[in-house]
């Protein structure tokens, strides 16, 4: 569902679109007003705690620049990105914002942080030593986040290391502007890891009293105020995916994706479709060939396989199954059950939209909404609503 607001600007096409609307195999529409509404909802839930925005991965495939520009105008003052290149883009759009780089300090990269006023998320004792050496020689006071691993076992200093260096916060220029950790199982509310991580982080926070802290991601915000700390950092929920799996999605949908039908062909009973002849028509069938494939982010796993149902798309208001293997540029869809003339060359099949969410498409591919959005292809003609 798109938010309808008479004050919104008209839809605008992304200037970097690879093809015009009449040329592209697919049309990707991104509702920036919905992203704004999602951020405001999450910010409202976490008052008086600050609400940041995670815009890594090209804003989860939605376009870093337009998304960051919209959120900055909405009132977001802290952003999290994956690397320095993304941070540099946010800095150009939001010169006064605080920008944290989640991948931390690459060897020799410290000068880049100072140049663009970015803050590394320190993920190891080795990174911390290199960062300390840099700020000691350059006298730079831009600050850094300290990431403590409370159970994810991916990045972050250990709890023991955090305890060992906690005394440095007694010095005036300790350099830490944020203490953070990352929840491993926030999308499973009753998972015991949540309580374990909250308890560990609470103990570390006591040692770092006076340093702002952050624990809650998108799903963590819905676990309640005990996880909010001083700053929440939603990511996927901003872009319309469901942060509460198994419950009704509380977020506005952001993305609509349509693929163009470039041919409708008849296939006889017993004939096969696509590479590997993995689909055999059980009856005389009509197959719509859609100009979207795995090069556009529609994973090969969307096709039916042994023990797995096919993914579906919506054609003429009805769900239709994908048949055969998804290929690089094309996907075959069974439209036999549609009335004649309801699927024609030039029409569109809806992959996301019309009641089919990004999570629905992900389920049909055996994956999660994160992977769907971050793999949205660059060949789509992009349209931004509510800019």
Q: Point out the catalytic residue in the list 41, 56, 70, 89.
A: 56
Phi and psi at residue 43, in whole multiples of 5°?
-65, -40
Q: Please name which of 60, 90, 64, 11 lies closest in space to residue 382, comparing C-alpha atoms.
A: 11
CB 72 within 8 A of CB 51: no
Q: Point out the catalytic residue in the list 115, 247, 269, 275.
A: 275
Question: Tokens at residue 379, please?
Answer: 């060949």
CA distance 239 to 39: 9
Q: Please name which of 206, 205, 223, 222 lies closest in space to residue 214, comparing C-alpha atoms.
A: 205
For residue 237, list its beta bridge partners: none
CA distance 270 to 282: 6
CB 79 within 8 A of CB 100: yes
Q: Which residues of 65-99 are buried (b: 16+ CB within 10 A; e: fewer)?
A: bbbbbbbbebebebbbbbbbebbbbbbebbeebbb
Verify whether residue 294 is a known catalytic residue.
Answer: no
Verify whether residue 100 is a known catalytic residue.
Answer: no
For 280, how many CA atoms within 13 A lie in the half-sphere containing its CB? 2
Catalytic annotation, residues: 56, 275
């Amino acid at each position: 569902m798109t938010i309808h607001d008479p004050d919104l600007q008209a839809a605008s096409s992304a200037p970097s679109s690879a093809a015009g609307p009449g040329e592209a195999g697919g049309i990707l529409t991104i509702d920036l007003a919905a992203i704004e509404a999602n951020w405001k909802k999450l910010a409202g839930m976490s008052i008086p705690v600050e609400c940041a925005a995670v815009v890594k991965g090209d804003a989860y495939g939605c376009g870093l620049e337009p998304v960051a520009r919209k959120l900055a105008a909405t009132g977001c003052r802290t952003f999290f990105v994956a690397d320095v290149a993304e941070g540099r883009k946010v800095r150009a759009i939001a010169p006064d914002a605080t920008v944290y780089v989640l991948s931390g300090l690459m060897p020799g990269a410290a000068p880049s942080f100072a140049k663009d006023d970015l803050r590394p998320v320190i993920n190891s004792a080795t990174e911390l030593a290199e960062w300390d050496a840099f700020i000691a020689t350059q006298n730079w006071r831009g600050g850094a986040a300290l990431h403590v691993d409370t159970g994810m076992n991916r990045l972050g200093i250990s709890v023991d290391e955090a305890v060992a260096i906690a005394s440095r916060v007694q010095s005036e220029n300790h350099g830490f502007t944020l203490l953070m950790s990352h929840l491993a199982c926030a999308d499973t509310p009753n998972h015991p890891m949540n309580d374990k991580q909250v308890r560990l982080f609470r103990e570390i926070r006591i040692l770092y009293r006076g340093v702002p802290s952050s624990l809650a991601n998108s799903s963590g915000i819905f676990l309640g105020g005990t996880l909010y700390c001083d700053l929440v950092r939603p990511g996927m929920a901003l872009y319309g995916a469901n942060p509460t799996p198994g419950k009704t999605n509380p977020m506005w949908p952001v993305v609509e994706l349509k693929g163009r039908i470039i041919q409708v062909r008849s296939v006889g009973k017993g004939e096969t479709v696509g590479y590997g002849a993995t689909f055999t028509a059980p009856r005389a069938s009509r197959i719509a060939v859609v100009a979207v494939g795995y090069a556009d982010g529609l994973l090969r796993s969307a096709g039916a396989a042994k023990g797995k149902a096919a993914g579906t798309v919506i054609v003429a208001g009805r769900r239709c199954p994908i048949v055969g293997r998804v290929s690089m540029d094309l996907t075959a869809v069974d439209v036999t059950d549609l009335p004649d003339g309801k699927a024609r060359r030039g029409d569109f099949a809806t992959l996301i939209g019309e009641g089919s969410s990004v999570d629905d498409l992900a389920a049909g591919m055996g994956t999660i909404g994160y992977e769907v959005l971050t793999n949205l292809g660059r060949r789509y003609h992009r349209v931004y609503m509510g800019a």
